[in-house]
Amino acid sequence: MSPPLHVIFWRHAEAEDIDADADVKAASQADLRRALTRQGRRDASRVAAWIKAHVPKPWVVCASPALRARQTAMALVDYPVDEPRLAPDCGVDDLLAVIADHDDAHSALVLCGHQPTMGSAALRWLSGCEQAFSLRKSGLVWVAERQRESASARMLRACISADLLD
């Protein structure tokens, strides 16, 4: 039996609002530059502390190129991997491809991205179910995959929301 692969699906923390009057192209660029709010920084730190206390190391931490996701991931590590397949406009298949490309089963893979993709990808990777699943801002789903003989089994380890960590 090989060691489990731990995958953490982590939604970015609360970010500043976007200018509602911007045109579509400007709004898209502004969306990528949205920074965390004070509450978002606090929540990201709480969840990062929980990850540090519970998730086995070593970690590979990947973040969307959006500033808010990178700032959330930076509460856990100084230099997250910039992963374009976690960008706001990417889908569940893109995110699951990141997991498939992760070839180190001896580490935990922390993916920091956006709704609705993070929640739906977590649900699909855990159960194969193709339904919407909402993950709160700065919330996470932790799934472990074990290889036994020729089969793999996935189990839910935790589903955490920052407001539960007070």
Q: What is the pTM of this model?
A: 0.93
Write out pLDDT tens, residues 97-127: 999 999 776 789 999 999 999 999 999 999 9
Write out pLDDT tens, residues 8-65: 999 999 999 876 666 666 767 888 999 999 999 999 999 999 999 999 999 999 999 9
Domain ranges of the chain: 5-165
Cis before 116? omega within 30: yes
Write out pLDDT tens, residues 133-166: 999 999 999 999 988 777 889 999 999 999 999 7
Q: How far, in Å, are 19, 32, 67 from residue 23 at the CA level?
A: 9, 14, 20
Domain covering 5-165: architecture: 3-Layer(aba) Sandwich (3.40)
